[in-house]
Every structure is written in C-alpha cells, then in structure tokens.
Structure 1
C-alpha cells in the first residue's frame, strides 16, 4: 500500500494548514502534547469516538504528521500551538507510525474480492486482508523484511508476531493510529464471527506482554465505543472517550463557543454567531458547548445555514432503531423533536448496533451517532437526551415524515387538527388543543409565565402541520410594531396567519392590537386571505382563550 508504515503523503490536516490563512482553520495542535505525555506510559492505549464529521480523521492525520518519520523535514507545525511547547521537538517525526485507515482497507478488500486474478492463499476475509496489507507495507522496509522473513512462524496474516520480531530487533516501539476502527461493527453488523475475529486480532496486538510492548502509543478513532462482552470492554487496556463520557478531551473534537466566535470575525463570514449557534451547536459535553465543525465550515463557505448532516451519512440506522419501537420510542422521538427531553440509562449498553435490548440502548446509539445530545445527571449512568440543534431537528423531521406510521401518531393528528381549527375560525377548538399541549411533557409548566412560553406552546402545536406549506417568523416587523408570530404560506392557496399573544389579558385585546398596529398591512397586497388569531392565557384560571377572525 505504501502509506501504512510511516506515511509522508498529503492528508486532510496538512491541507488545512496549507490554506489556514485563507480558509477556516482552528488550531487544536495542543492535543498532540496530551498524547505525547502518554507515550510509553502505563496507560497509552486510547479509543476516542465521535459522530461523523466531528474532526476525528483530521486529528488522526495531525498525529500522523507530527509523529511519523515519513514527514521528517517538513515544516508543517511552524507557528501552531504545539510549536510553542517545550517538548515540541522531542517527538517531532521521530517515531515509526503504522497508520490504518479502515475505509481504505475496506475499499481495497472489495477490489481484491471482485478480481479473481488477485487471489491470495489464506486471505479469506477483511481481517486477514488487513493484516496482509500491513505486513506487506512493513516488508517494503528492507530491514524489517529481513527480520520478518527470517521467522518461519510469520505468514501473511500474523501481524502481531511480525511486530514483536521487529521490535525485539530494533528496540523501537511503534505508534499505531487506526481511523474508523469500528467499521466492521457498523458495516458487517450481522457477521458475528467476523466481529469476534477482528476483536481477537486487536487483542493479540495489545496483549499485556510482548504485544503491548510493541507500541509506544495506540490511538483508535471511530463512531462507536469499544464493544462490551458481559459488561467488560473487549479491549480492557484501552481508555475510552466517547459522546457518553468525553472528558477530558471534550474541546478537541468539534468547535467550541470561543472558536466559533473567532470564525465569525473573519472577513469572509456573513453569518452571525447566533445563526451558527442555533443550527450547529448543542452538543453539551461536560459543560462545554460543541458545534458540528463540518457544518459550520460548510455554512460559512456557502453563506447560508442549512442542514449539511444528511450529506455525511446514511440515515438507515436511525430508521431501523426507531422502528423497533421499544417502549414507545417513536412517540419519544416526536416529543424530542418538539423540544422535550428523555431520560435514559447507559449502564448496560454493549456498544454495538446489533445487541439492542431496549430503549436505553437505542438512545445510547443515537447519542454516539450524533442524532441526539445528552446531558449529565447526578447518577453517572443516567443521561438526559435531547435534539441538539436546528440542523439535527430538520434531519429527524424529514426521516420521521417518511415513515409509514407518521400520520397515525396522535401528536401529528393534533397538529393537523390545530391548523384546521385555525382555518375554520374555531377559537374554542384551538384553545382546547393549546390547553392539551400546555399540559403535556413538552411544556415546562413552572416556566409558563409569559408570552414567550405561550408562543413556544403554539409553535410546538403547529410544527408538523405547517412543514410543507408555511414558513414562520417571530417578532416580525409589520405595520406599527412587531407581530408576535406570523405563518406565511409558501403558495397563495393557503391563508396567511397572524397570531398575537396576551398573558393575563384577553384574546379580544390581542385581536385589537393586530388591527390597531396594522400588522396585516405588510402582507395585504400579497395575500387576500389573512386570518387574525388572538390568544390569551390566564395565570389565575390556567385556561387559554382564543378569538379568530378573517381580515375583511
């Protein structure tokens, strides 16, 4: 392969550095120092997992560019954070690095399987092929080739033995970096024997005696944590940092609040910090607010906030998991989209996509995949799941609406009935539906003490019914003031809906304000059919009142 042992080729990190003065570049090279502190230490095996497009590969490429002898002499880290540290030169390009990109291995294995002329004896599956490719790369080093060839026990697929022989001869342990370590668990889900073979292969590499001494550092990255068997990790020597337990590396994968604040100051950025926050922030890792880095970069480049998530991965796993419908998880997902939170346990999660026993496992997987954020509780095994931002909310809504059970859900029916009641000028029904939403878990009753809370309640109710035909605006400049909530139709077939809220006043006064301040005048030339909605909540009676009129 030529790029497994001591890679020195161009990679994603080097390209970022090369264009750092003209493109978005966030310097996280101080992470290298944290890894260097663990070289040859007792705890030197790391597994750091995050969702797709959270900077895992860039970080792996960064470590490779720093440690690998293949990059010696290249001025990659000049003026970056790591260059200011005292230990900078100590490990710079002084290690033998084995870099394994499992996506690349998979692609080459597929090509190998499809061409019978490439057949190699005893290479029966992707695990065999992986070992064969690494050994082949090691043999391109004449010194290593001589040592490997002199040992009759080393064949095409005995990588651990090959590394032991080399290390005994050279006295130099390797640094192993494996990107997408969990690919076999994600893409060969139902091949249990293959998964177990892969884990046994990794166990053989990192066993405590000779195998473990072959590595000064091992760094695995992927999406899923290391699989557990009977509550024990399959690779006991590894220290894991994932979305369920990220500390102390929370800030190194994704953009932090301060980093985004600097990004919006750049001359080419036309988006506000608040826009980026609404769309891409929301992953709260041990109190640190993390933004999806790929989406932020894409949005700033395009000058537009939208969902970039669906372009990064398949949603098939999400669909499969929610359609299991453990303990009403379909309803939970809809409630989460509407802003609710759900408590779950991660105590018995087996860290794979197949051994899914209950709703708790589903939520653990969705957090690891990035579809949900999670917050800590006083119990380390109890977490609170939520939809992190507008980007993920948009993705989840699109997925849910494609399911054959979508229209049968009570929440969806309620939303449609609310919109129908508004169009029919049926204030009593509207008030009753809003009362029902007010009494649901999606609304925090203790905080229901102003017009803002009332606005959120109505927006929650109309969420699903207005997706195709309306866009909404809050505090829209109109007439002689700002309208509380406006639902503007995408086509003129639908009525424009102007909503004004009152708290401890009256629905009549809300309608009066719309007319007095002429909120409708901005729209009257474009829309002939305009509906005025006045809603009031009485803190004393805990009731909603609604008055609806058509503009004459």
Structure 2
C-alpha cells in the first residue's frame, strides 16, 4: 500500500462516511453499482468532468474504498444505498477485489516539483512530470513482491513503460487493475502553454487505453477533472472513453452536486437547529441552477458551507482563480463583454460547442469562451438542439462573483448596458413615464433578451429586472410576488439602509393597460407596508403594460403622496 497502488491515507469519502451522523452527508453510493455494471465490458472507460467542488474527488475516493484490496474487511459501506437488496449481488462481487492504481495529479505535481529541485533524486530519463508519473507507478508496482519478480523476469526489463509493465503482470496473474485518476486535466490547466508536455501526456494515456490490447490490463478506468478530454483536429485523443461533461453531461447528472430533494432534506435536518436559520428558499436562490439533463443541481460545497456557517454567501470565489475569467472576458470576441453583462442581468446566450478543443489556450471565438466558462462552472447551459447550447448565470452565488469581476475592469462604466441601467433608474426617479417605457423597449429588443418568449407578464418582469440590475444590485433588495396590502405585489425594490433612495413598487400587465396596473396597486394597497411601517423613503408606484398587437410598452409612474 503506497500513495498510488491501493492508497489508504487521506480518503475523503471514508472520513465523511465515518462522521455521517454528525456532518452533512448525502448518500450517493448507488453510483458504484452504475459503474460496476460496466466492469470488464467494452464500455468500461469513463471520464466524468465537472467544475471544482462538485464532489469529483470524494466520488473517486468512494470508488477507491470500494474496489481496492487495501480496504478489505473495513465496514465502510454498512447501511448505505449500495448495500440495499437491489445491489446485493453486485456489491459482494466487486467489494475490495482489485488492485487499484489511484493517481491524484495534484499530489503527483507536488512530488514532481520536489523531485525536480533535488538533484540527488534524479533518475536517468525522468525529466518531465509525465516521465515522473510513469516512473512512480512502476516503482510502486515493484513494491509488491510478486509484481517485482514478474517485472524482473521480463525480457524488456530495461525498457518497460507502464503499459508493458501492466501487460506482463496481467499475462502471468490473469488479474486486471482498476485505474482511477483524479484531476486528469491538471497538465492542460497548470502547464497550459507547454504543448509538447501535453502531447506526451495524452500519448501516455493513449498508450494505456488504445485498442483492446491496451485496455486488456484494466477491468475499469475512471478519470475525473474539470475540462473534457482534449481534442485534436476536432477528434478526442481518447475516443474509447465514455465522456460525461458539463456540455454533454449524459446520465450521471444526479451523482455530482446535490439535487432538489437532497437539499430539501439537508434544510429539513438543520431546521430544528438553533445554530442554523438557513431556509430552503435561500439555498435555492444562492446555489441551485445548474440544469443538467433536466435535473436542478446545487453546488454541494456551497450548500454544506452555508448550513454549517449559517450564512448564504458566495463560497465559490475561494475555490478557483478568477484570473482565467478576466482573460476570457477581456478577449472580447464578438462582443463577449456585452454578453457577459446581459447574462449577469439574467439574459440567455446561444453558443455552439462543436469546435471547442477542450483546453484553456486554444480559444478562437465567443463560442469557445462560453464553452470554457460552462466547464469551469461560471455559466450553466441547456441543450438547445444539435451542438447548440443556451448559456445562463445559474444562481446568485455565481452572479455575485461575476459582478465583482466585471466591476473591476476598466471598461465597466462605459458599457452601454450599464449606461442603460442608469438611464432607466433616472427616468423612474424623475417620474418620466415615456422615457421609462422607451428604455424598457430597448431592453426588450436587445439580442439576448429577445430570445425570451415575450408572451406573458413574466417576460416584461424580466426586462425590468435586467434593466435595473446594474443600478440597484448594490443598494437594493429585489422582491417578487411579495405579500403586501391586500395581495402580492409583482415587483418591489427596497433600499438597503438608505433613506434617500425611493422604494420602487411595480405592477405588470399584458394586453390590458398601464392604468389597470396602477389601479391594482392602489386598490390592493400594495404600498401599505411602507406607508404604515418604519420607512422614511419615498414610494414610487409604477404600472407597466405590454400591448402584443401594437408591440408598445406603456407606463404610468406616480409618487405616493
């Protein structure tokens, strides 16, 4: 048992399972059965990529604890889903039956850096991290007495690479390995400009898995990372792998991230705690929104932090550098900056993912920018048919991060969407109904907003929220369908501790009139909570209507007397 062959130290899943009655624990062990169903079959090579903090490592560690001989006799999975009756046969068949080669690329990189600095450790022919990786695995194989004897007897002992070493062992023992590689794409992220190193790494992997002969040493292979498998000339260099990524997530959506039901259970379990007052609605607002194969997925790391710390804030910014996002936005391919601002305000952008080469350097178009931002988790996407996807900002957490990023850019204040937001707010403050309707019409006709089906009040509500977002996001809280007076107001903007700013109370209509909207505000007395409450602020009443026949936006604005 070393750090690569059947490692046991620092297994995050084992630690989590041991304290599952005390900490947040979501049982996804039935994933083991889904993977085990493919052992020794043609489709036994898997690559599952997701953004950081989506449970990739803990899942890899779970597979290690289940398959590895080093864990034999440990009662790690007792009472978990994988031990249920429906998985009984499969569970017993594969439990701790394999030698697992577990490659944590972050650890390999750290070890290689130390190796490169210490000349006394240098080995002839080991000059790159890829050389070091292969050398390290073979050396650990040799720590097994039987494997060492077999390798020493090999005619090509001085020329062994990992693929041939594994073939020698399999030929004599008739046993196959399981390979798990965490952060498979590290070389493409950390050595992004070293194309020779990247080529040697993909050649190393191709040598392990190319064709039936290469795959014969493995009962199963499982890669995880952030980026999809690298493409060369629009083809994957590892085309035998079943790949599940954020652009094409496949059937494993519910196993990476938390689902609605899982988060509801977490919120329920913490609801009785005096230390946690986080509601399910807050968790949904902040961390839901990655729609993968029709399933709403939450960032699990953020949910756990929120309920543990009793605070919904952005935990995302501490997990990955924002420098990459800044670089991508500032490339400004085909107006990417405008698109990013529209996305933050709630818009949608269609992009084509067919030519993305799955790295962080070969970025040639706006489509590539959106592909990479989706893979990194800064955008969500929905299938829009064929190779087309619909990008959006998934939740408040990501919106907070992206907003902070763009506000630091030198071009921020001069962007048309920012000026438009200021223009709309100023028109409302001035009680200028005509100007307000004019600006809302501009927003409606902007490219990304026009993707909406503009056939209901919700579309009009979106236009106003998108328009006001940049002017109000720091100073206001925005409430939809807030109970007030004798009903629920469509939209209310309430200032955060600033008596000089007006409260905005907005009612929407579709194919009626602005007068109807204004009359409803008054008849239902939506303003009563602010007139009768402890609010010194002015209250501005806004009635809006969209006429689908004339395509006109109509507006009435009054200040409450």
Quick check: 1:15 aligned with 2:22? no
Other structure's SS at 1:110 match? helix
Bigger shift: 250-259 or 491-500? Answer: 491-500
| Mapped partners of 1:485, 1:468: distance in 2 | 17
* Partner of residue 62, structure 1: 62
Query: Pick from 107, 114, 123: which aligns with 1:104?
Result: 107
* Partner of residue 342, structure 1: 349
Query: Pick from 435, 443, 452: which aligns with 1:437?
Result: 443
Measured after TM superposition, the shift of residue 95 of structure 1 is: 0.4
| Mapped partners of 1:541, 1:526: distance in 2 | 42
* Partner of residue 225, structure 2: 222
| 1:262-289: CA deviation from partner (whole Å, max 9, x where unpaired) | 2232145643333322322222222222
2:351–2:370 Cα contact (<8 Å) kept: yes
Other structure's SS at 2:409 match? coil
Q: What are the within-5 Å matches in structure 2 for residues 101-500 of structure 1? A: 101-151=104-154, 153-154=156-157, 158-208=161-211, 210-268=213-271, 270-379=277-386, 381-441=387-447, 442=449, 446-450=453-457, 452-476=458-482, 483-492=489-498, 494-500=500-506
| Mapped partners of 1:155, 1:125: distance in 2 | 19
Measured after TM superposition, the shift of residue 298 of structure 1 is: 1.8
RMSD of equivalent CA atoms: 2.7
Measured after TM superposition, the shift of residue 548 of structure 1 is: 4.4
Other structure's SS at 1:211 match? helix
| Mapped partners of 1:35, 1:551: distance in 2 | 63
| Distance 1:135-1:272 versus aligned 2 partners, 3 A rule | same
| 1:131-179: CA deviation from partner (whole Å, max 9, x where unpaired) | 2222222222222223333447445983223222222232211111000
Structure 2's unaligned 5+ residue stretches are none
Bigger shift: 295-304 or 54-63? Answer: 295-304
| Mapped partners of 2:367, 2:508: distance in 1 | 40
Q: What are the within-5 Å matches in structure 2 for residues 489-528 of structure 1? A: 489-492=495-498, 494-503=500-509, 504-506=512-514, 510=518, 513=521, 517=525, 519=527, 522=530, 528=536
2:108–2:133 Cα contact (<8 Å) kept: yes
2:517–2:545 Cα contact (<8 Å) kept: no
2:434–2:555 Cα contact (<8 Å) kept: yes
2:421–2:469 Cα contact (<8 Å) kept: yes
Other structure's SS at 1:334 match? helix
| Distance 1:341-1:143 versus aligned 2 partners, 3 A rule | same
Per the normalisation by structure 2, the TM-score is 0.90
1:299–1:306 Cα contact (<8 Å) kept: yes
| 1:371-405: CA deviation from partner (whole Å, max 9, x where unpaired) | 222222342x2222222222222222222222222
1:7–1:71 Cα contact (<8 Å) kept: no
2:477–2:493 Cα contact (<8 Å) kept: yes
| 1:236-280: CA deviation from partner (whole Å, max 9, x where unpaired) | 222211112222222211122232232232145643333322322
Measured after TM superposition, the shift of residue 350 of structure 1 is: 1.6
| Mapped partners of 1:425, 1:5: distance in 2 | 71
| Distance 1:184-1:82 versus aligned 2 partners, 3 A rule | same
| Distance 1:371-1:156 versus aligned 2 partners, 3 A rule | farther
1:182–1:223 Cα contact (<8 Å) kept: yes
| Distance 1:215-1:295 versus aligned 2 partners, 3 A rule | same
2:514–2:556 Cα contact (<8 Å) kept: no
Q: What are the within-5 Å matches in structure 2 for residues 71-110 of structure 1? A: 71-84=71-84, 85=87, 86-110=89-113
| Distance 1:43-1:444 versus aligned 2 partners, 3 A rule | closer
| Mapped partners of 2:379, 2:521: distance in 1 | 40
| Mapped partners of 1:8, 1:518: distance in 2 | 62
